[in-house]
Structure formats: structure tokens, C-alpha cells
């Protein structure tokens, strides 16, 4: 059964929106193992709303941390010790989309980086990156971090305006597959996302 990890080149790049589109298109369940920041709504709530999912297709977070900070610090503030052994992806009868927190090298504890935990899952990742200025550096650094841990990269999904040279440069120099580009949607509704995802991506590219 397909299980994909959605990782980002940075925080706020559009992982949750991309994951919602992908979860809906695959008929998958969604899992955000570590949520840092609860006041502005959680990623699970956003995905449930954007992908119009029933409760049973949203798996519970393992850690729900109060502060919108790097998980290692948010956990310390809440007095929680994150045990990375508890973060193994559950098995489900449906495909699963898993969303990481922030960028790849965010610490979960003062010893563990999220990327090292993902490497232990032996699951392929979809890298989400911006197209705006700075995107090439962030994407190529992320690809290096993934390759150095032998993590399989399904490809890169861009979010933002089309910037053809930036996208092509990342694909060529990073030697990754371009999965497509989700444009900026205004308004961002379940229907607009469903349509844009279908236009922008070929679902077969995600079946690995």
C-alpha cells in the first residue's frame, strides 16, 4: 500500500496544502505525527477541511505541542520528551500521506533530526519546494540531505508562481523528477484544490 512522506525545503512552503490535494486524489489517510503549534488550527484540521475527509481518514498525531516552534523546543516548553520510536508510521488499509514538520533538518530532540527518523521509516518522500527566490539553494540542500541518508525521492512538487528557469535548474542540478507545480489558489477551497491538483500532477507519478 502506498505510503508517502511529504517533506519540505523549509517551513511554510505548502506541504499541508499539497498533502491535502494528494490525500484527496489518492483516497488516502493523512498523518501528521508531530504537530507544533495548536492555536491557529492544526495541519490535520486543515487537511481534513481541504480534502473533505471523514474523521477516520485523519490519523491522530503522536505529539501535539503547544508552541509554533521547532519541535525540539516546543516539546521542552511543554515538558515532553519526544520518543522517536513512537513515530513509526502505522499500517492502514488505504494509502497514507504523512506530513513532516518544517524543513528536513528540524530537530525533534536535541539528538534527533526529523530527516534521520524518516530515513528509518524506509518510505519514499515527495519534496515540496517554492519557486520564489531562494528556492534553488533550499531545494538542492534538501536533496543532498535526503540522498546522504539514502531516502528515496519520488520527485519535487513546486508550489507558487511558475518560474521556469528555477524549476528546470532544480530538476537538472538536483537530478530529481518534476512532479508538477501547484499554483497559488485564491480562494483556496476544496474544489479549487481538487481541480488544480488534477491539472498540475499525474497521479501515476506518485505510485512508487
Ligand X SMILES: Nc1ncnc2c1ncn2[C@@H]1O[C@H](COP(=O)(O)OP(=O)(O)OP(=O)(O)O)[C@@H](O)[C@H]1O
Residue number, 10 or 43, with CB nearest to Mg ion: 43
Q: Report angle CA 12, 33, 144 to the nearest 5 degrees.
A: 55
Residue number, 30 or 206, with CB nearest to ligand X: 30
- Of residues 64-83, which lie at the interface with ligand X (CB under 6 A)? none
Backbone φ and ψ of 10, nearest 5°: -170, 175
Q: Please tell me what DSSP assigns to residue 89.
A: P
The stretch near ligand X (CB under 6 A) out of 14-22, 89-97, 107-115, 163-171 is: 14-22
Q: Could you tell me the three cell numbers for 15? A: 506541504
Using CB under 6 A as the binding rule, whether residue 125 contacts ligand X is answered as no
Residue of 24, 29, 31, 43 interacting with Mg ion (CB under 5 A) = 43
| Annotation marks residue 111 as catalytic | no
Active-site residue, selected from the candidate residues 15, 32, 111, 162: 32
- Cis amide linkage into residue 187, ω under 30° from 0: yes
- Of residues 138-157, which lie at the interface with Mg ion (CB under 5 A)? none
Using CB under 6 A as the binding rule, whether residue 14 contacts ligand X is answered as yes
Q: Which does 180 bind (CB under 5 to 8 A by kind): Mg ion, ligand X, none?
A: none
Using CB under 5 A as the binding rule, whether residue 16 contacts Mg ion is answered as yes
Which stretches within the chain are classed as H helix?
15-26, 43-51, 71-78, 114-121, 135-147, 164-174, 190-200
Residue 156 and residue 15: Cα distance in Å, rounded? 11
Whether the CB-CB separation of 185 and 178 falls below 8 Å is answered with no
Q: Which residues bind ligand X (CB under 6 A)?
A: 8, 11-17, 43, 102, 159, 182, 184-185, 188
- Catalytic site residues? 32
Amino acid at each position: 500500500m502506498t505510503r508517502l512522506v511529504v517533506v519540505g525545503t523549509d517551513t511554510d512552503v505548502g506541504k499541508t496544502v499539497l498533502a491535502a490535494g494528494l490525500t484527496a486524489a489518492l483516497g488516502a489517510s493523512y498523518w501528521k505525527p508531530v504537530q507544533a503549534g495548536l492555536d491557529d488550527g492544526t495541519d490535520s484540521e486543515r487537511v481534513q477541511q481541504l480534502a473533505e475527509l471523514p474523521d477516520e481518514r485523519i490519523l491522530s498525531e503522536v505529539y501535539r505541542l503547544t508552541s509554533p516552534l521547532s519541535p525540539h523546543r516546543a516539546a521542552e516548553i511543554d515538558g515532553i520528551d519526544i520518543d522517536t520510536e513512537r513515530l513509526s508510521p502505522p499500517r492502514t488499509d488505504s494509502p497514507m500521506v504523512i506530513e513532516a514538520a518544517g524543513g528536513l533538518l528540524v530537530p525533534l530532540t536535541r539528538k534527533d533530526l526529523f530527516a534521520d527518523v524518516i530515513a528509518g521509516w524506509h518510505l519514499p518522500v515527495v519534496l515540496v519546494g517554492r519557486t520564489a527566490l531562494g528556492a534553488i539553494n533550499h531545494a538542492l540542500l534538501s536533496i543532498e540531505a535526503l540522498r546522504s541518508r539514502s531516502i528515496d525521492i519520488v520527485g519535487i512538487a513546486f508550489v507558487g508562481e511558475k518560474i521556469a528557469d528555477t524549476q528546470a535548474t532544480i530538476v537538472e542540478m538536483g537530478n530529481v523528477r518534476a512532479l508538477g507545480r501547484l499554483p497559488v489558489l485564491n480562494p483556496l477551497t476544496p474544489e479549487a484544490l481538487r481541480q488544480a491538483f488534477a491539472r498540475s500532477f499525474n497521479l501515476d507519478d506518485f505510485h512508487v
